[in-house]
Amino acid sequence: MNGAERVRIGIEGLDQMMGGGLIPGSICSIIGTYGTGKTTFALQFIWEGLTRGENVIYISLEEREDRILQYMADKGWDVERYRGGPLTVLKLDPSDFNLAINSIKNELPALVRQMGAKRVVIDPISLFEDLFDRDSDRRREMFRFVDTLRNQHCTIVMTSETDKDNPFASRHNLIEYLADTVILLRYVRPSDLTDVHLALEVVKMRLSAHSREIKPYEIQQTQVLVYTEANVF
Ligand SMILES: Nc1ncnc2c1ncn2[C@@H]1O[C@H](COP(=O)(O)OP(=O)(O)OP(=O)(O)O)[C@@H](O)[C@H]1O
Ligand SMILES: [Mg+2]
């Protein structure tokens, strides 16, 4: 499969590391601790779709719709042009268990079909996973949910917060097994402690070759820059 058949995230160096982008119809999880740029990466993915004329859905379990739209506008993106048309941003309240479960499990697949959405973001999926008290329920429901999404012909990015004791794993240690592609974002604190850097890696990518290098990146006002020529360690 060549790069032309991939779904670009819209972050040049990262797409390169994945052989041109995500595989169409696959599920990607972006895992990172607070402030590593999960939302920024997810928005970039959404914007890339919009500029390609695709319909996109952004489900936010954390930030309100107006804040998400403002972030996008702050990047110099003309979101108003797309809003209500190809761009749907929805805030879900994860504190209402039944509502959140119903929205995510039943309404989202229906919305994807109805809109013919090509890209869907859930940011962060961890807050949905948190709703389940028992590991076995969470595992079963997430498995079913991911299975339903796989039939929708859209490419999905789910962001995930890290485990409090392990910056390399998602909080519930589940999404990395369910997702086809896993991108890990993290802080790197060099031994001289003068500066904190951000670094990313493509941890896994089903059915595709990918880079296993750890590359530094920087979040800028209007873009994310991955320094593919540089090394972190
Ligand atoms: N305009 C900007 N210019 C430079 N850096 C920025 C800009 N906007 C955000 N950042 C950086 O990106 C970080 C936040 O990124 P983002 O909200 O995407 O992270 P996140 O992983 O989603 O965090 P959280 O887990 O808290 O939701 C900020 O902490 C800041 O360092
Ligand atoms: Mg975020």
176, amino acid identity: E
> What is the extent of the structural domain holding 154?
23-183
Tell me the best of 11, 14, 36, 61 to mutate to test the pocket of ligand 1, counting ligand atoms within 8 Å of each CB and taking the most.
36
Res. 121: pLDDT tops 90: yes
Position in ligand 1 atom list of the atom nearest CA 161 = 25
Which residue has the least CA distance to atom 12 on ligand 1?
37
Residue 1 lies in a domain: no
Is 36 near ligand 1, meaning CB less than 6 Å away? yes
Expressed in angstroms and rounded, the spacing between residue 220 Cα and the centre of ligand 1 is 9
Take residue 48 and report the two structure tokens written for it. Answer: 């890339």
Residue 197 lies in a domain: no
Residue 35 lies in a domain: yes
pTM over 0.85: yes
Which residue has the least CA distance to atom 30 on ligand 1?
35
pLDDT per residue as tens digits for the range 37-57: 999 999 999 999 999 999 999
Residue 50 lies in a domain: yes
d(CA 36, CA 42): 12
Residue 127 lies in a domain: yes
141, amino acid identity: E
Q: How confident is the model at residue 3 (pLDDT cuts 50, 70, 90)?
A: low
* CATH code assigned at 155: 3.40.50.300
Which residue has the least CA distance to atom 27 on ligand 1?
34
Tell me the best of 9, 31, 39, 163 to mutate to test the pocket of ligand 1, counting ligand atoms within 8 Å of each CB and taking the most.
39
Residue 202 lies in a domain: no
d(CA 218, CA 97): 36
Res. 193: pLDDT tops 80: no
d(CA 128, CA 134): 13
3-state secondary structure of 217: strand
Is 38 near ligand 1, meaning CB less than 6 Å away? yes
Number of domains in the chain: 1
Q: How do strand 27-32 and strand 181-188 relate by DSSP bridges?
A: parallel
Contact assessment for residue 39 and residue 159, using Cβ atoms and an 8 Å cutoff: yes
Is 171 near ligand 1, meaning CB less than 6 Å away? no
- Say if residue 162 is exposed, middle or buried (CB neighbours under 10 Å; 0-12, 13-18, 19+): buried
3-state secondary structure of 170: strand
Expressed in angstroms and rounded, the spacing between residue 1 Cα and the centre of ligand 2 is 31
Nearest ligand to the CA atom of 122: 2
Is 34 near ligand 1, meaning CB less than 6 Å away? yes
∠ CA 80-225-64, rounded to 5°: 35
Residue 57 lies in a domain: yes
Residue 144 lies in a domain: yes
Res. 96: pLDDT tops 60: yes
Instruction: Tell the residue number behind the tokens 């962001």, with chain if given.
Output: 159
Is 35 near ligand 1, meaning CB less than 6 Å away? yes
Res. 203: pLDDT tops 80: yes
Is 37 near ligand 1, meaning CB less than 6 Å away? yes
Res. 132: pLDDT tops 80: yes
